[in-house]
Amino acid sequence: MKTAVIQFPGSNCDRDAVHAFSGALGQTARLIWHKETSLDDAELVVLPGGFSFGDYLRCGAIARFSPIMRAVGEFADNGGVVLGICNGFQVLCEAGLLPGALIRNECLEFRCRTVELRVEDAGPFFNRERLGERLLVPVAHGEGNYLIDPEGLEALRRNEQILFRYLPRNSGPSLLENPNGSIDDIAGIRNRRGNVFGMMPHPERAVEAFHPSRDGIPVLKAVLAAAAGTRPEVGV
């Protein structure tokens, strides 16, 4: 799977994402600078974590207007699979490719720790066989508090668009629980069509023996499976 990882000024998980897809998962992965206007022959697009444009104005608000984002929008419109991790999730929400928004953590702290995720409803392909499973995946963000209006939340539930939830607060070891106050403990979602995915936790930081876990591998494999199932005709 030819994977394009978009590199914005201030991205800092871009190389981790390339490593996860190319090293740990054996795919072809490369960086594309945000000033580019074409994704070339990419079959999967990843918007990585970091602090694009210094998080100025709002997280992801400026990156969504980078030249490459027009191509990313067209790629998604054509059914191409896009994964946004952390800042990438924020960019996708700002760009309107995913519903809702990510605001300041309720605790006001930057939270950098490994949390427990439950694999939730997730459409026909995304982690379907792992529903209910618990994963340990790192988070590192100050603004990961997912917010959506009641109608939007109801639609996410109804359409099985919630990919992962944090453990609810006061349900277990507190360091493993919802780190940011996210509504309905949402850690990751997809769009209704099922080709745009966003999550605050970092699966690309959970692929090696020296990482806190290797639970990112099945997550990224699910993204690859989605891309293999729904990618647009790659005739270029």
Partner 1 sequence: MGTARVSFFGDVKITVFVTPKKNVLDPQGAAVAHAMTSLGFQNLKNVRMGKVIELELDGEPDEAFNASVDKICRDLLSNPVIEDYRWAIEPTGA
Q: Is 192 in the site for partner 1 (CB under 8 A)?
A: no
Residue 151 exposed, middle or buried by CB count within 10 Å (0-12, 13-18, 19+): exposed
Rounded Cα distance, 203 and 176, in Å: 16
Token pair belonging to 218: 């099945």
Per CB under 8 A, does 111 bind partner 1? Answer: no
Q: Which is nearer to partner 1, 181 or 194 (CB)?
A: 181
Pick one of 14, 16, 43, 94: the residue that binds partner 1 (CB under 8 A): 94
23 to 20, 72, 115, 200: CA distances (angstroms): 6, 24, 24, 22
Residue 136 lies near partner 1 (rule: CB under 8 A):
no
**In the stretch 146-175, what mask flags binding to partner 1 with x, by CB under 8 A?**
-xxx--------------------------
Q: Does 103 help bind partner 1 (rule: CB under 8 A)?
A: yes
CA distances from 121 to 22, 28, 46 (A): 28, 29, 22
**Which one of the listed residues 43, 86, 94, 211 is annotated catalytic?**
86
Given the rule CB under 8 A, which of 57-65, 123-131, 203-211, 224-232 is the region that contacts partner 1?
57-65
Determine the residue type at 216: G
Give the per-residue contact string, 26-55, with partner 1 (x = CB under 8 A; - = no).
------------------------------
Is 214 a binding residue for partner 1 by CB under 8 A? The answer is no
What are the helix (H) ranges across the chain?
Answer: 14-18, 68-77, 87-94, 150-158, 216-230
204 in catalytic set: yes
| Whether the Cβ atoms of residue 121 and residue 160 lie closer than 8 Å to each other | yes
Among residues 74, 107, 110, 131, the one that binds partner 1 under rule CB under 8 A: 107
Both tokens of 21, joined, read 């897809």
Binding site for partner 1 (CB under 8 A): 57-58, 61-62, 65, 93-94, 100-101, 103-108, 145, 147-149, 181
